[in-house]
Structure 1
Amino acid sequence: MSHSTLSPEPFAILAMPRAGTHYLEELLNEHPNVLSNGELLNIYDTNWPDKDRLLGSDRELLERAFLRYPTRSDKTVTHVGCKINEPQFHERPGFFAELANWSGLKVILMIRGNTLESLRSLVQARQTRHWLKFSSDDAAPPPPVTLSLAACEAYFKAADDFHAQVANAFGPTKMLSIEYERLLRDPHACVATILDFLGVPARQLSSRRILQRQETRPLDQTLQNFHELRVHFAHGPYARFFELGDA
């Protein structure tokens, strides 16, 4: 496997779970000069055939991601990236600092405006073991779930803390925030913004999409104890997550 003499410019997509990173990666990988290779720290990610990579040091893993990455014959790669979800950093406590020190790295922070939707989606996926829905699928919507008050409070705080950690580590010139809800509404504009941030020539997106949303019903139809949670969080900073009508 051979790469160009000059190493591609590195980027990473960071997010809480179920924040639309698979969809964003699908869009970015339409570009002939951009290659995002999935979840670097996920042993089951099929983009990475060498599962033993996780036995290496944090530095070795990042070299695998940005210097010795799996390539594709249909691309001339000038920008190479990977995805990392917040819980995966807990499994490797020093990895975030190593990532932040990687020379020239740019970060795309995916934020789901309604963090409750992210948690609900995560619990549904864990219970059904269905993590992605493709356009060829004809599966029924996932069943509603119940969330504890403690789980919601912990997850909301984890999201706030993680978003702040990323912003503090990378700063405005090295980090771009993209909201999941905006990506759904206007993928063309979002991808154009990202390509400009990365320094990649603009390219029109195709209309073909492989990935689909697994859940489109409102929260009061997908959370069995929605009203209990809504009352509990009614007068605090997370009350906005329970306003029906949000994506």
Structure 2
Amino acid sequence: MADDLCSFTKDVFITKAPKKSPLVLRMIVLVFAMVCGVYICSICVKQISTRSKAGFLNIPVIQKACPEPNIEPWEIPYVHYPKPKTYSRAECACNPVRYFAILSMQRSGSGWFETLLNNHTNVSSNGEIFSVKVRRSNISTIVETLDKIYNLDWLSSASKNECTAAVGLKWMLNQGLMQHHTEIVEYFNTRGVSIIFLFRRNLLRRMISVLANLYDRDAKLLNGTHKSHVHSPHEADILAKYKPTINATLLIPNLKQVEETTAKALEYFNSTRHIILYYEDVVKNRTKLTDVQDFLKVPRRELKSRQVKIHKGSLSQQVENWDDLKKVINGTHYESFLQADYRK
């Protein structure tokens, strides 16, 4: 009887086991299939996402591509494709832009010269930007301002915007340029900025112009308005009536100081790509303007200015103490300044 009970019990286990086993196996297989399915789906989603992102990333690369300009290898550092933050260059995005700076001294003809450059349809010279002291307070503010100018984000009456081919500014030597010359030279060379030096040969005529301009700042001879530059002969005649008295004792030291400042500027910025111009040469020989356009690599144009010269003719008619000046200058290497060496 006991043997039969054991045999029955074994049969029961043997009979029930096959009924539970397939269900468990099926559950295991189902769970495994679900896990595999989720894994495979996640991989597919990642691949699709990656391909989509790669596709989007490739679009800007295609848009940025510009044909290589047909230039000499040495010119490559001076060719730029700015991307302004304030507007789009649109169809001109692939037009190369050259950077420049006009380095000069007050009353050396730089204002007149800049109006000539801005008469070109593809040149933007943005004026005496660093006459505002806060912009030249330190090298950081200077660099920040220059970056804005050369990125075509500096908006002024001279801005040509989209199709600008050459962009720059007018910078006087006494506006932070000499104090920070080391950093500025490095910036110019790194960013590929070309320099146009514009000086005046006749420093005595420049001195007369400086003194007359300083006087008009207070006197405001033109209907209570101070003007450094004029656009009519009538206005020029009014300003020219004032004849400054020059300190004859300090005349030679002052002329020497201007010469030394000019020489230092040429020495400091000698390592940059530059061209040296003199006001008198540009006045007498307008082919000098062709040289400037070639220097900036812009199409040649006939350039005009509406500015009218204020002080012209014999120097003896422009100063109050002419005889005193003659005595001091005669016999020195400044004697040639007494002559009217150009006409305009």
**TM-score normalized by the length of structure 1:** 0.83
CA shift, 1:236, in A, is 2.2
Deviating beyond 4 angstroms after TM superposition, the runs of 4 or more aligned structure 1 residues are 3-7, 51-56
The change in CA–CA distance for 1:122 and 1:22 in structure 2 (over 3 A counts) is same
Amino acid at match of 1:125: N
**2:278 matched to 1:221?**
no
Selected match of 1:124 from 212, 221, 224 = 212
Superposition pairs of residues 1-247 of structure 1, within 5 angstroms:
1-2=86-87, 4=89, 8-43=97-132, 53-54=135-136, 57-67=141-151, 68-70=153-155, 72=159, 76-89=163-176, 93-94=179-180, 96-101=181-186, 102=188, 103-129=191-217, 130-135=227-232, 137-138=234-235, 139-140=237-238, 141-171=240-270, 174-187=273-286, 189-206=287-304, 209-242=305-338, 244-247=339-342
**Higher relative helix content:** 2
Name the one with the larger strand percent. Answer: 1
1:88 alignment partner AA: Q
Distance 1:175 1:158 in 2: 23
Aligned partners of 2:88 and 2:162 also within 8 Å: no
Q: Alpha-carbon deviations, 1:55-88, whole Å to 9, x = none? A: 6622212223322322635761121111112222
For structure 1, which segment, 55-64 or 22-31, has the greater mean C-alpha deviation from structure 2 after superposition? Answer: 55-64
What is residue 33 of structure 2 aligned with on the other side? Answer: none
| Alpha-carbon offset, residue 185 of structure 1 | 2.2
Query: Quick one: structure 1 residues 235 and 57, their matched pair in 2 at CA, closer, same or farther if it must change by over 3 Å?
Result: same
Residue type matched to 2:290 in 1? Answer: A
CA contact (8 A) 2:108 2:198 kept: yes
8 Å CA contact retained: 1:142, 1:215: no
**Residues 1:235 and 1:218: Cα distance change in structure 2 (over 3 Å):** same
**Following the alignment from structure 2 to structure 1, what is the Cα–Cα distance between the partners of residues 160 and 337?**
44
Partner Cα distance (2:122, 2:108) in 1: 24
What secondary structure does 1:57 align onto?
A: helix
Alpha carbons 1:128, 1:142 under 8 Å: kept: no
Deviation at 1:10, TM superposition (A): 1.4
> What percent identity do the matched residue pairs reach?
24
Letter in 2 for 1:178: L
Residues 59 and 98 of structure 1 are in contact (CA less than 8 Å); yes or no, is this contact kept in structure 2? no
Structure 2, unpaired ranges of 5+: 1-85, 218-226
Q: Secondary structure at the match of 1:134?
A: coil
Count residues with an aligned counterpart: 234
CA gap 1:3/1:21 in 2 versus in 1, 3 angstroms: farther
SS in 1 for 2:301: coil
- Structure number with the bigger relative contact order (C-alpha 8 A, sep ≥ 6) is 1
**Secondary structure at 1:80 match in 2:** strand
Q: CA RMSD in A?
A: 2.6
**What is the one-letter code of the residue matched to 1:121?**
S
SS at match of 1:38: coil
Gaps of 5+ in 1: 44-50
